[in-house]
């Protein structure tokens, strides 16, 4: 009989009746063989590993995190409510100590969904990790959270949501943005003025295999986590770094993913991307499940895996080591920005242009963050997209000071006069959303 | 006429049911655990002495023989030969004394990824034969997708073994460790069960009876003699299923319902969802090993008539242990039944002994002597209530994989309780109070299990799996593997499984089944995509004949218990 070291809850929801389109990577078939493999291995019969079904996230839980324009419902389907609800369920299992760890093996994914949502980006509409984390913060008072994103694509959505939050450490290991969607996630991206060093990017070159990933884990991720000492570690476990993935160029293996999970010891794991649905997902998911539960995964191996084929040359490893060194410094001694910040009174301003590749929408944003000495500051975003124009978003964050909260309400009252097409005001202090 | 018999751990119950008048005769005799056949013979002769010269059409037997053999380790040594491929180390699923892993493997689509090492297999087999192993179980990972490795290994043993179980013939469900355990137990109980079945047949001949002989299964259905000889493991845990089938037959139930069968050491909790017994394709555990045996969703809890009662602090504890019989039956420790004995008008065994037991309990309690048995019974009902609601929660927590099902999900919310077993009549008002639900104690509740056995019909489940890229269709449990065209689709698949099951049922179970009885319980057809092109369909259909009762007998057994 196999003995688990950690009790593991798996919220498994393959959404067998949902696809972006019939032949899209994000289609019904995606978790079919993963289900077959997990069932055939009898994983859910192992004492200490239990399968759960997701709950449905509510509109309120989404509105707490996202500014959705024109509104939540026109941006999502039931499948999104379920995958976000699956994450919330996983979070509850751990917070209520029913399980030591939980894995939300759900789809569709979420890490490309940003703070403002006008449509789908990179197969994501809402950020399921962020919805879970903010739910856990509000319900259980969780404070410091670390998100380690091991999807092959840079999690630009999660980065955007937590850009200004010093209590959320976001670390992303991904394929270099010069060679892959979404084209971001460079070492120079280190977080907003109040959260410098709380966003860490580790862009790895194409063809990086186990050695490179595990080097980054050991030399960057683990030391940073040690120092940050989060209350909760969340792993955005995309599986598209796999050597068989059809839309990326990395050489990570199932056993590598298992080893990574074993090293990271996340409390919560959320499936993100991963589109090699036959050659990778069954083995990677099995490896992750076994590693999380603390079971032997040494027999988990893709049929066509030959580590010799993926050995890394010294030059590439040296390059990776340099990237890792920069990423480390970004956390332990974040560089002061060389560009002077654009300011508008007390507001620090950023201009952004966002492309929604899945929904084919372009959005222009002007983002304001109030430069406050006492808290991370009120967030205000003016947003216009090719779908909905002239929207305003205001957020008073969870630990917002009283002055900022008053400012937020004043801004909201002022905005009502100004003829915006849509206004959303998130007041996390009083747990309210006004529209 | 139907003859139903349930050879349980303590009692053997038998009934004779007539198509015109219903229950014609019934008996309850003690079971002799060392001579089950003797108990069967005894029950038959008692029934026949009440009703002479009857013509018995079907003889349906529910027996604990296999369950006992497993619990008592009276098992034949089995050569278990598995092949696996990547995943969890197959040595972790080792069972029995002769467990061998042969190199070779298939993937989740049934594609061979490592060829089977035939020479290794031959070596292993000849070693096992040298050790005197006569029965074998052959299981490969993903064999329901492609049985080729199991078949190849079986070919090597064929002429040298008394009996071989092939994993894929047991179930089309994916679960390698369960398939291994199920195949192991199937072979391990085969010799003893095979002999037993033959002697039951001879016994019937001695009584000049030549009915169709059927064995009851854990899912509340029957299997004929010939099938039972091939898959004896399906006969385990048929007792609780027989009881639920009895209630199902006796009472006309349409709502969510709980069935409680209070026995000597345990109470079995069964559930009917909208009047239909809940079946699980994989429910039964044997010696802690989960199996693929399809079974009625029944939970046994350690609370019965003989459950020991004691006082801990100021709290009364009932069960889960049994420390010998209750005091009324000569035991030393006060038990649940002693409490019941003291509050009912009738007398069970030595009532004075039961009172003595209550005295003993009362010494450590603050309440009056009169109140003591009532508090014990109330405590027992509290335990029942807690267990039942956990059980219902567990059922309602079952995983679901489609958005449609998740949104349409209907929770089970019991509206009524059917109570059976020895102390049912006394317990009724206590259970009613604790659960806040109406409780019905049906007529003939004492032999509801035997009635259930008598009126049960065959049940079956089969899974079809088609891959239009590989152009193959398989129905593992029927041993069907066919080539199909690229245009094969869900509609054809549905027809195929129903057609093949009805042929099987007609030829092997002698039942001309109506198509409407072949219920499709799951179906899916998914695009398989390579790059951006659809290369085929992955089609899956599950079809079942759910537990039911013989239509001809439905009206005569139905009692007026829905008061
Ligand atoms: Zn990705
Ligand atoms: Zn402030």
Q: Are residues A307 and A350 in the same domain?
A: no
- Distance from the Cα of A120 to chain B's closest Cα (Å) equals 19
Q: Are residues A25 and A68 in the same domain?
A: yes
Q: What is the mean predicted confidence (pLDDT) over A105-109?
A: 95
Q: Are residues A180 and A299 in the same domain?
A: yes
What spacing in Å lies between the alpha carbon of A366 and ligand 1's midpoint?
27
- Distance from the Cα of B488 to chain A's closest Cα (Å) equals 18
CB contact at 8 A, B134 and B125: no
Give residue B562's pLDDT: 45
Let me know if A66 is a catalytic residue.
no
- Distance from the Cα of B526 to chain A's closest Cα (Å) equals 6
Give the total number of structural domains in chain A.
Answer: 2
CB pairs under 8 A between A and B: 119
- Could you say which of A51, A283, A296 has the minimum Cβ distance to residue B86? A283
Residue to mutate among B101, B401, B468, B538, with most A CBs inside 10 A, is B401
Compute, in degrees rounded to 10, the torsion defined by CA atoms A262, A263, A268, A272: -90
Residue A337 maps to a domain? no
Residue A312, CA atoms < 13 Å, CB-side half-sphere: 23
Residue A74 maps to a domain? yes
Is the Cβ pair B89, A299 closer than 8 Å? yes
What spacing in Å lies between the alpha carbon of A370 and ligand 2's midpoint?
8
Closest-approach residue (CA) in chain B for A302:
B86
Q: Are residues A422 and A325 in the same domain?
A: no
pLDDT one-digit tens code per residue, B107-160: 999 999 999 999 999 999 999 999 999 999 999 999 999 999 999 999 999 999
Q: Are residues A38 and A91 in the same domain?
A: yes
- Distance from the Cα of B289 to chain A's closest Cα (Å) equals 9
Q: Where does B78-188 sit in CATH, by number?
A: 3.40.50
- Could you say which of A23, A41, A52 has the minimum Cβ distance to residue B532? A23
Residue A213, CA atoms < 13 Å, CB-side half-sphere: 34
pLDDT one-digit tens code per residue, B324-369: 889 998 889 999 999 999 988 888 889 899 999 999 898 888 888 8
Partner A contacted by B21 (CB < 8 A)? no
Give residue B466's pLDDT: 97
For A170, B78, B82, the CA distances from B128, given in Å and listed in that order, are 58, 9, 14
pLDDT one-digit tens code per residue, A299-333: 999 998 999 999 999 999 999 999 999 999 999 99
Q: Could you say which of A305, A332, A359 is where a domain stops? A: A332
Tell me the residue range of the domain where A416 lies: 342-434
Q: Are residues A256 and A315 in the same domain?
A: yes
Q: Are residues A29 and A131 in the same domain?
A: yes
Residue A310 sits in a domain whose CATH number is 3.40.800.20
Residue to mutate among A40, A41, A258, A278, with most B CBs inside 10 A, is A40
Compute, in degrees rounded to 10, the torsion defined by CA atoms A113, A118, A121, A124: 50
Give residue B421's pLDDT: 83
Q: Name the A residues in 10-39 with CB < 8 Å from any B CB.
A: 12-18, 22-23, 27-29, 32-33, 35-37, 39
Q: Where are the domains of chain B?
A: 78-188, 307-384, 460-545
What spacing in Å lies between the alpha carbon of B57 and ligand 1's midpoint?
65
Q: Are residues A266 and A321 in the same domain?
A: yes
Is the Cβ pair B114, A14 closer than 8 Å? no
User: What helix, strand, coil percent values describe chain A, rounded to 5?
Assistant: 35, 25, 45
CB contact at 8 A, B81 and B138: yes
CB contact at 8 A, A254 and A203: no
B151, exposed or middle or buried, with CB in 10 Å at 0-12, 13-18, 19+? Answer: middle
Q: What is the mean predicted confidence (pLDDT) over B44-70?
A: 91
Instruction: State the ipTM, two decimals.
Output: 0.94
* pLDDT for residue B557 is more than 90: no
pLDDT one-digit tens code per residue, A362-396: 999 999 999 999 999 999 999 999 999 999 999 99
Residue A263 maps to a domain? yes
Q: Which residue has the higher pLDDT, A150 or B252?
A: A150
Closest-approach residue (CA) in chain A for B537:
A29
Closest-approach residue (CA) in chain A for B523:
A16
Identify the active-site residue in A111, A112, A164, A242: A112
Q: Are residues A387 and A267 in the same domain?
A: no
Q: Could you say which of A291, A312, A332 is where a domain stops? A: A332
Q: Are residues A407 and A327 in the same domain?
A: no
Q: Which ligand is nearest to the CA of A373?
A: 2
Q: Could you say which of A278, A300, A332 is where a domain stops? A: A332
Is the Cβ pair B174, A39 closer than 8 Å? yes
């Amino acid at each position: 009989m196999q003995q688990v070291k950690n009790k593991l809850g798996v919220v498994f929801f393959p959404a067998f009746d949902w696809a972006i389109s019939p032949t899209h990577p994000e289609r019904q078939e995606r978790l079919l063989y993963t289900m077959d493999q997990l069932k055939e291995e009898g994983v859910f019969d192992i004492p200490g590993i239990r399968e759960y079904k997701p709950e449905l996230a509510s509109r309120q839980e989404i509105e707490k995190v996202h500014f959705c324009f024109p509104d939540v419902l026109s941006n999502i389907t039931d499948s999104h409510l379920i995958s976000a609800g699956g994450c919330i369920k996983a979070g509850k299992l751990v917070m209520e100590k029913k399980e030591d760890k939980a894995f939300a093996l759900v789809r569709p994914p979420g890490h490309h969904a940003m703070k403002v949502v006008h449509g789908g980006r990179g197969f994501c509409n809402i950020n399921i990790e962020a919805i879970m984390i903010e739910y856990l913060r509000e319900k259980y008072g969780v404070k410091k959270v670390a998100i380690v994103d091991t999807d092959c694509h840079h999690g630009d959505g999660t980065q955007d949501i937590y850009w200004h939050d010093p209590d959320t450490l976001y670390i992303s290991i991904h394929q270099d943005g010069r060679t892959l969607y979404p084209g971001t996630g460079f070492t120079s991206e280190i977080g907003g003025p109040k959260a410098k060093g709380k966003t860490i990017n580790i862009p790895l070159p194409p063809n990086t295999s186990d050695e490179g990933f595990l080097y980054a884990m050991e030399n960057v991720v683990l030391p940073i986590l040690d120092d940050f000492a989060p209350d909760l570690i969340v792993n955005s476990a995309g599986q598209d770094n796999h050597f068989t993935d059809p839309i990326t160029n990395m050489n990570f293996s199932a056993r590598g993913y298992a080893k990574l999970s074993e090293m990271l010891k996340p409390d919560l794991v959320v499936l993100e991307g991963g589109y090699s649905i036959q050659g990778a997902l069954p083995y990677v998911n099995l490896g992750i499940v076994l590693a999380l539960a603390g079971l032997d995964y040494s027999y988990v191996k893709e049929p066509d895996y030959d580590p010799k084929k993926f050995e890394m040359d010294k030059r590439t490893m040296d390059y990776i080591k340099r990237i890792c060194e920069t990423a480390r410094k970004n956390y332990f001694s974040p560089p002061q920005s060389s560009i002077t910040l654009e300011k508008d009174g007390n507001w620090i301003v950023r201009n952004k242009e966002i492309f929604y590749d899945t929904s084919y929408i372009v959005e222009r944003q002007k983002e304001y963050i109030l430069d406050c000495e006492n808290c991370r500051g009120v967030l205000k975003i003016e947003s216009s997209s090719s779908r909905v124009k002239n929207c305003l978003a205001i957020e008073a964050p969870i630990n917002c000071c009283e002055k900022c909260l008053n400012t937020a309400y004043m801004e909201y009252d002022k905005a009502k006069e100004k003829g915006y097409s849509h206004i959303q005001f998130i007041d996390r202090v009083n747990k309210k959303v006004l529209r | 006429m139907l003859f139903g018999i349930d050879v349980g751990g303590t009692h053997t119950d038998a009934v004779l049911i007539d198509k015109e008048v219903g229950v014609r005769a019934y008996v309850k005799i003690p079971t002799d655990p060392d001579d089950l056949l003797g108990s069967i013979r005894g029950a038959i002769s008692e029934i026949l002495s009440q009703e002479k010269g009857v013509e018995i059409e079907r003889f349906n037997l529910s027996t604990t023989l296999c369950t006992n053999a497993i619990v008592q380790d009276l098992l034949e040594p089995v050569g278990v030969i598995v092949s696996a491929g990547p995943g969890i180390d197959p040595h972790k699923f080792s069972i029995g004394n002769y467990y061998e892993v042969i190199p070779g493997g298939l993937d989740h689509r049934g594609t061979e990824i490592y060829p089977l090492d035939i020479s290794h297999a031959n070596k292993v087999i000849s070693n096992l034969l040298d050790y005197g192993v006569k029965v074998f179980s052959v299981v490969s990972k993903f064999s329901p997708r492609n049985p080729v490795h199991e078949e190849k290994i079986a070919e090597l043993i064929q002429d040298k073994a008394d009996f071989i179980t092939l994993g894929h013939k047991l179930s089309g469900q994916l679960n390698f460790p369960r398939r291994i355990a199920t195949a192991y137990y199937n072979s391990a109980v085969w010799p003893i069960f095979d002999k037993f079945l033959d002697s039951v047949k001879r016994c019937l001949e001695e009584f000049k009876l030549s009915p169709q002989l059927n064995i009851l299964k854990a899912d509340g259905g029957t299997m004929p003699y010939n099938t039972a000889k091939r898959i004896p493991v399906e006969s385990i845990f048929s007792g609780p299923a027989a009881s639920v089938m009895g209630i199902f037959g006796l009472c006309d139930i349409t709502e969510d319902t709980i069935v409680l069968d209070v026995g000597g050491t345990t109470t079995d909790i069964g559930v009917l969802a909208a009047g239909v017994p809940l079946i699980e394709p994989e429910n039964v555990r044997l010696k802690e090993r989960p199996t693929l045996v399809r079974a009625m969703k029944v939970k046994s809890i350690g609370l019965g008539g003989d459950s020991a009662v004691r006082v801990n602090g100021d709290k009364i504890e009932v069960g889960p242990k049994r420390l010998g019989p209750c005091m009324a039956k000569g035991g030393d420790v006060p038990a649940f039944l002693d409490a019941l004995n003291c509050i009912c008008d009738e007398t069970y065994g030595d009532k004075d002994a039961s009172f003595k037991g209550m005295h003993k309990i009362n010494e450590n309690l603050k309440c009056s002597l009169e109140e003591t048995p009532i508090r014990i019974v109330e405590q027992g009902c509290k335990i029942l209530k807690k267990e039942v609601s956990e059980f219902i929660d567990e059922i309602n927590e079952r995983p679901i994989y489609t958005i449609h099902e998740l949104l349409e999900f209907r929770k089970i919310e019991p509206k009524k309780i059917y109570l059976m077993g020895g102390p049912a009549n006394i317990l009724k008002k206590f259970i009613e109070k604790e659960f806040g639900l109406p409780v019905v104690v049906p007529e003939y509740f004492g032999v509801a299990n035997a009635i259930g056995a008598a009126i049960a019909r065959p049940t079956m489940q089969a899974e079809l799996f088609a891959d239009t890229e590989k152009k193959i269709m398989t129905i593992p449990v029927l041993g069907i593997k066919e080539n199909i065209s690229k245009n094969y689709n869900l509609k054809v698949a549905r027809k195929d499984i129903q057609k093949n099951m009805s042929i099987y049922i007609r030829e092997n179970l002698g039942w001309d089944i109506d198509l409407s009885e072949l219920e499709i319980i799951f179906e899916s057809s998914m695009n398989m995509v390579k790059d951006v092109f659809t290369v085929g369909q992955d089609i899956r259909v599950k079809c079942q004949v759910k537990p039911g009762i013989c239509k001809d007998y439905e009206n005569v057994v139905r009692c007026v218990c829905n008061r």
